[in-house]
Chain A
Amino acid sequence: MTRVQVSLLVEAGPEAVWDVLTDPNYIPKLYPDLLNASVDPPGRAAVGQNRKFEARAGKRLIEIKTRVSEMVPLKKFAVTGRRGSALDTFLETVELEKVKGGTLVRILFEFKVSEAYFGPGFDLFALNQAAKLNEELFAKNLKELSELQDPKGR
């Protein structure tokens, strides 16, 4: 199992970070290799919401399935993997803490690429590294999207 931990300061309030985290329309922009997202039930994140993604692994399409598992408004957001996708196990926990100058965001990812899903002929190490890179870039993109300002607010 691969574990990625990232902490960063977002120069925006927890409300702005929470807005990005819980709006499924932002998902394809948060993870570089996720191409689209469908959620059930539709709309903003809620505990129990099922999420299905098409993503790319090199030049191949893959499927990832998750479920929103925990939400503490403006404080904690967690998603876990579901069976039958490219990741055997997946846990993503994002914790927010209001601090001077913005929001301290702590992100923890744990995942395992599914050997059974890919079958023989795939380089699991490369797949693992690609997944890890996506999780690291998730943090950078979350910061960038949360810090966007409206024209009128400038």
Chain B
Amino acid sequence: MPRIESAVNIEAPTSVVWGILADSAYVPKLFRDAVRVEASPPGRSAVGQSYDLTAKVGRIRTHVFLEVVEVEPGVSIATRQKPGGLFRSFRQRTVLEPTRLGTRARTVFEYELSRGYLGQVLNAIVVERLVKDNLRSYSYTLKELSELLPPPSERKTK
């Protein structure tokens, strides 16, 4: 089963990184080819929450169904695959650790593509490459979003 592991040092407090990780609305920004996500129930991440994630592979719309299985606020979050969609299995776990300069975020993805789903319409090699590209860029995008400066309105009130 392919495994992709990455770690980044983020120059932002753990609370800011967590704010992004635990908000499903950020998912289409964190994964390059994700185009839409619907969380059920809506709101901040909680164990048992489901994500219906729509992604594009070229001009084809694919689906990924996930469930939040672990939430330790400010520390860790994990999701895993629900039946159906692009993956036969999928698991993501991100762990945050405060550092002197901010936060260290470690993310591990383990996944297996659904050959049955792919076999109908999609080139497995192309999809494998796209998935790897999306997962590899995840941590860097998390860093970029977390390091954005606060809005001018907050600056003025300080």
Q: Is B2 an interface residue (CB 8 A)?
A: no
Complex CA–CA separation, A117 to B153 (angstroms): 7
Interface string of A100-136 (1 = CB under 8 A from B): 0000000000000000011100100000000000000
| A5 interface contact, C-beta 8 A | no
The answer to whether B149 and A61 have CB atoms under 8 Å apart is yes
Partner of B60, one of A26, A117, A144, A151: A151
15 residue pairs of the A-B complex, CB under 8 angstroms, read A29-B28, A35-B145, A42-B42, A60-B148, A60-B149, A61-B148, A61-B149, A61-B151, A63-B153, A119-B156, A144-B56, A148-B35, A148-B56, A151-B121, A151-B122
A84 and B23 CA atoms in complex are apart in Å by 23
Shortest C-beta distance, B64 to chain A (Å), equals: 13
User: With A35-B26, A59-B147, A60-B152 in contact, do A154 and B121 touch (Cβ < 8 Å)?
Assistant: yes
- By a beta-carbon cutoff of 8 Å, the part of chain A in contact with chain B is 23, 25-26, 28-29, 35-38, 42, 56, 59-63, 117-119, 122, 144-145, 147-152, 154
B70 to chain A, nearest CB (A): 22
* Cα A132 to Cα B18 with chains together (Å): 31
Give the shortest distance, in Å, between B120 (CB) and chain A (any CB): 6
Nearest B residue to A32 via CB reads B29
How many chain B residues touch the partner (CB < 8 A)?
29
B25 and A145 contact, CB distance less than 8 A = no
Q: Determine chain A's interface SS by DSSP, over half rule.
A: mixed
Which residue of B35, B42, B62, B120 contacts A26 across the interface (Cβ within 8 Å)?
B35
| Residue ranges of B at the interface with A (Cβ–Cβ < 8 Å) | 23, 25-26, 28-29, 34-38, 42, 56, 59-62, 117, 120-122, 145, 147-153, 156
Q: Are B26's CB and A148's CB within 8 A? A: no
Closest to B149 in A: A60
Q: Which residues of B sit under 8 angstroms from A122, Cβ to Cβ? A: 152
Q: When the two chains form the complex, which single residue of B25, B60, B117 contacts A38, counting CB atoms closer than 8 Å?
A: B25
A54 to chain B, nearest CB (A): 8
Question: Distance (Å) between the CB of B33 and the closest chain A CB?
Answer: 10
Q: Which 8 A-B pairs have the closest CB atoms?
A: A36-B25, A148-B61, A151-B121, A60-B149, A25-B36, A61-B148, A29-B35, A61-B151
Counting chain A CB atoms within 10 Å of each CB, the highest count among B25, B120, B145 belongs to B25
- Add 4 more A-B contacts to A62-B151, A150-B60 (CB < 8 A): A28-B26, A60-B148, A148-B60, A151-B120
- B26 contact from A36, A60, A119, Cβ within 8 A: A36
Q: With a CB–CB cut-off of 8 A, which chain A residues contact B148? A: 56, 59-61
Known: A63-B151, A145-B35, A148-B56. A28 touches B29 (CB 8 A): yes
Checking A36, A56, A63 against B23 with a beta-carbon cut-off of 8 angstroms, the contacting residue is: A36
